[in-house]
């Protein structure tokens, strides 16, 4: 038997190193995790707050909204209303994990297992991340973005840049390609491309405003609809087609779009990502203890933090603030293992893989091939629903009471599963608003249309249209079911 990795609870760099090695061995041998190389960074609480303010990204351009975020969070932190996360991890290659200096050695061990191996493996293997993000290029690209925007501030003034960023942020949630994979980004290419474009800026011809007479003899007049199909990516559409937008503004829109796109999978896989990381740390901590590398005391301390993290408060609990992604994700992953190892009759009815001796294969498959919505739809088992005592509540606007539409019983399982998947899908998707037409030969107004049925916050929409107008330069209209909103003429409306 090996010696304990540590017996008292102060962390030191050699200990971190030893623990990381021990965890790496388990991750590789027992869980067969394929990870990016790790870069562990020890940071202070202040720095953690910084990282929070910039969505965890290590380099980010400057904008007042990040300052606002930080002011809110540091206020909460100082008043004791909010604890800081023990760790933060970035989907990059090498994978950067932040460890808080306040953590005890046990916590550092937990955090390394959770972030540096759990999240890391998820980033590298989940199909969604593989398809939509480029871990290798991101840090360089962020540095490029930061530099570029700083340069713009110098050349065109801070206020002008802020206006563009405000507008870009307002529509950034509608600036994501959901259907096709964006091209890989490489910072150097980007920079080159931008410089080239600067050079040719003067000669730029915008296809949709082309007014050269048509070539004689060619049949002209087909019905003139632009764009030919509705466009869901507003940021992209504006960037490419706004009539009078200066080159640098287009580049800023592009930067916001690229970064939003990079962050897109994180919002789509929160339950899975956290669930998988919890599953990994749970396995690793037990394995370390089993090998005699951790003391019983350490294991107990681990249990205390682990249970706090995966705790799901009941809906009538004061602490309740929605479904806890850690709790749900962890429960489902643990359950997949259980269904393989010790299936019940019910499991066999629900899951074709029940009783599969290769539980690890099933876990890997689940981790790789799904996102939250499909993951819940595929794997949320009756047992987990019973354990969490899930039920669904239906609200009709004109009725006096809510109705319980399903509970965790035989008649309700299927409905619950679907309702939860739908709920997850809705919460991670902004209203579907698309560009339907541009009046090319008239007053150049831009027409948007809401494509889904969900009611829209009209006041918000009005303000957002103001930003769109600012970028587009001409009138912007939004068609909603039975009415049309028009953008206010100036931004000062808010």
Nearer to other proteins, 298 or 450 (CB): 450
CA 323/CA 329 separation, integer angstroms: 10
Whether 62 contacts 104, CB under 8 Å:
no
CA 434 to chain centre: 21
Nearer to other proteins, 290 or 322 (CB): 322
Nearer to other proteins, 91 or 464 (CB): 464
Is residue 465 classed exposed, middle or buried when 0-12, 13-18 and 19+ CB atoms within 10 A define those classes?
Answer: buried
Q: Name the helix (H) or strand (E) containing 235.
A: helix 234-241
Nearer to other proteins, 52 or 353 (CB): 52
CA 141/CA 263 separation, integer angstroms: 13
Whether 23 contacts 108, CB under 8 Å:
no
Nearer to other proteins, 36 or 353 (CB): 36
- Number of Cβ within a 10 Å radius of residue 482: 5
Longest Cα separation, the chain: 89
If DSSP codes are grouped into helix, strand and coil, which group holds residue 99?
strand
CA 274 to chain centre: 12
CA 426/CA 410 separation, integer angstroms: 26
CA distances from 245 to 154, 240, 253 (A): 18, 9, 10
Written as six digits, the tokens of 266 are 């994180």
Nearer to other proteins, 62 or 360 (CB): 62
Nearer to other proteins, 179 or 397 (CB): 397
For residue 485, the minimal CB distance to other proteins (Å) is: 11
């Amino acid at each position: 038997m090996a010696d304990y990795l540590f017996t008292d609870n102060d962390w030191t760099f050699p200990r971190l190193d030893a623990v990381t090695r021990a965890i790496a061995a388990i991750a590789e041998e027992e869980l067969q995790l394929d990870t990016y190389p790790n870069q562990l960074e020890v940071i202070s609480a202040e720095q953690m707050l910084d990282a929070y303010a910039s969505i965890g990204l290590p380099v980010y351009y400057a904008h007042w909204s990040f300052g606002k975020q930080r002011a809110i969070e540091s206020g909460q932190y100082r008043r004791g209303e909010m604890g800081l996360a023990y760790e933060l991890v970035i989907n990059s290659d090498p994978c950067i994990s932040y460890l808080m200096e306040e953590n005890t050695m046990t916590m550092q061990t937990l955090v390394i297992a959770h972030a540096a191996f759990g999240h890391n493996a998820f980033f590298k293997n989940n199909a969604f991340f593989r398809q939509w993000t480029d871990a290798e290029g991101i840090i360089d690209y962020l540095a490029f973005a930061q530099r570029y925007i700083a340069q713009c501030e110098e050349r065109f003034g801070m206020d002008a840049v802020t206006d563009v960023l405000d507008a870009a942020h307002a529509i950034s949630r509608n600036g994501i390609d959901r259907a096709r994979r964006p091209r890989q980004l490489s910072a150097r290419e980007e920079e080159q491309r931008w410089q080239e474009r600067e050079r040719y800026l003067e000669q730029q011809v915008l296809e949709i405003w082309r007014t050269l007479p048509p070539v004689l003899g060619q049949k002209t007049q087909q019905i003139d609809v632009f764009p030919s199909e509705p466009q869901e990516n507003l940021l992209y559409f504006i960037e490419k087609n706004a009539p009078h937008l200066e080159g640098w503004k287009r580049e800023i829109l592009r930067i916001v779009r690229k970064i939003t796109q990079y962050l897109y999978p994180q919002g789509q896989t929160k339950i899975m990502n956290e669930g998988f990381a919890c599953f990994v740390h749970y396995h690793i901590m037990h394995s370390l203890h089993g090998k005699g590398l951790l003391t019983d005391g350490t294991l107990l301390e681990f249990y205390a933090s682990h249970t706090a993290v995966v705790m799901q408060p009941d809906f009538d609990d004061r602490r309740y603030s929605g479904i806890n992604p850690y709790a749900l994700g962890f429960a489902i992953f643990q359950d997949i293992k259980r269904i393989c190892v010790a299936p019940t009759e019910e499991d066999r009815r629900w899951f074709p893989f029940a009783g599969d001796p290769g539980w690890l294969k099933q876990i890997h498959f689940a981790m790789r091939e799904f996102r939250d919505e499909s993951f819940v739809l595929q794997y949320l088992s009756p047992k987990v629903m019973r354990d969490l005592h899930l039920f669904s509540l239906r609200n009709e606007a004109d009725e006096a009471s809510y109705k319980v539409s399903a509970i965790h019983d035989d008649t309700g399982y299927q409905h619950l599963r679907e309702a939860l998947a739908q709920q997850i899908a809705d919460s991670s998707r902004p209203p579907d608003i698309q560009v339907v037409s541009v009046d090319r030969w008239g007053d150049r107004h831009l027409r948007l249309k809401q494509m889904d049925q969900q009611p829209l916050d009209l006041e918000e929409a009005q303000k957002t249209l103001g930003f769109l107008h600012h970028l587009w330069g001409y009138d912007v209209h939004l068609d909603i079911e039975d009415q049309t909103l028009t953008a206010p003429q100036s931004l000062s409306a808010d």
